[in-house]
Structure 1
Amino acid sequence: MAKLVSKVYGDALFEEALEKQEVDALFEEVKSLQVIFAENQDLAGLLDNPKVGKEEKAGIIKEVFGGRVSEALMGFLTVIVEKGRQKEINAICEYFINAVKEYKKIGVAHVTSAVELKEEQKAQLLEKLLGTTSYQEFEMVYQVDPSIIGGLVIRIGDRVVDSSIKTQIYELRRSLSKLQIS
């Protein structure tokens, strides 16, 4: 259900951003909004509180964000509160951000290595990813996991390229276990 809600509202905000030609501005605003809600748990808690009425919550939104965000985002936040979807604000923002990244051809690559990669290796990897995908830009997220022994695991969206030694050993073990000795 939460995925459906985030998709419906995220798509609506994205369509409005396209229609008003405010994709970049709303993208930045929504990223800032996520930070605000992450850093101000009291605000999120207040908006989630069932004892606070919808009108009061809408008033809080206007008081906190009025004059600080665009009319489009203000109207969007108001609709979310009026429809009782304030618990989904973060998921909706995340969906919208991902939609804009796809639209702008910005990929997010999660790279896991056994050891910290050097800057030149990171640059080569970025160049290779740009050359082999349809993305024009990448946000790179690096992680070190010694348990993969060597190689890389690269995840972009739902695609995974796993060249880790750990996986190669596992595959070899699986292949060998299928062999029958006569």
Structure 2
Amino acid sequence: MAKLVAGTYGDALFELAVEENLTDSLMEEIQMVQTVLKENGDLEKILMHPEIPKQKKLQVIEEVFKGRISDALTGFLRIVVTKGRYKNLPDIFAYFIARVKEYKKIGVAEVTSAVPLTGEQKRRIEQKLLDTTRYKTMEIDYKVDESKIGGLMIRMGDRIVDSTLRSRLDRLTGGLMKISLESEKEGVQAS
């Protein structure tokens, strides 16, 4: 249900952004709103509290954001609060940002390696991703996980390319276990 809500509201905001040529400015404003909400726990408590009337919440939205963000985003926040969907705001914003990045052909990837990568290795990975996808630019988050032993694991959305030694060893172990079980099974049947 949360994905459906995020998609519905995120699509509406995205369509407005494209129609009004506001994709870049709304991205910046959303990041600012996220920062304000993260740094002001009391504001979030007010907007989430079931006992506080919606009219008071709308007044708080106006006082905090009016003049600091566009009327389009202020109006969107008012709709989200009015419809009682404030708790879905982080998912709505994440969905919107992902849609804008797709629209602008910005790929997002997570690359995990067993050791830190050099600048040249990172450049080659980025170039390979650009060559094998439809993206024009990449945002890559590099992580180190020593348990991977060697190789790389690349995650882009719901796609994963895992060429780590750990995954190869796991597959090899699984294959050997299967062979061992089949051999035992054949031995039992022969008896």
TM-score of the superposition, structure 2-length normalised? 0.92
1:177, CA displacement in angstroms? 2.3
Asked if residue 62 in structure 1 is aligned to residue 38 in structure 2, the reply is no
Instruction: Within 5 Å, give how 1:1-182 maps onto structure 2.
Output: 1-179=1-179, 180-181=182-183
1:35, CA displacement in angstroms? 1.8
Structure number with greater Rg is 2
- Counterpart CA distance in 2 for 1:32 and 1:137 is 23
1:86, CA displacement in angstroms? 0.9
1:175, CA displacement in angstroms? 1.8
Give the total of aligned pairs.
Answer: 182
Gaps of 5+ in 1: none
Q: Deviations over 1:78-102 (max 9, x none)?
A: 1011111111111111110011011
Q: Deviations over 1:92-125 (max 9, x none)?
A: 1111001101111111110110011111111111
Give the percent of matched residue pairs that are identical in Structure 1 and Structure 2. 51
Runs of 4+ in 1 over 4 A off after TM superposition: none
1:25, CA displacement in angstroms? 1.0
- Counterpart CA distance in 2 for 1:41 and 1:138 is 33
- Counterpart CA distance in 2 for 1:78 and 1:23 is 19
- Counterpart CA distance in 1 for 2:79 and 2:22 is 19
Aligned to 1:161, what secondary structure does the other structure show?
strand
Aligned to 1:67, what secondary structure does the other structure show?
coil
- Counterpart CA distance in 1 for 2:119 and 2:42 is 40
Q: Tell which deviates more after alignment, 25-34 or 72-81.
A: 25-34
TM-score of the superposition, structure 1-length normalised? 0.96
Amino acid paired to 1:50: P
- Counterpart CA distance in 2 for 1:153 and 1:104 is 25
Q: Tell which deviates more after alignment, 38-47 or 52-61.
A: 38-47
**Which residue does 2:189 correspond to in 1?**
none
Question: Please, what is the CA RMSD of the aligned residues?
Answer: 1.2
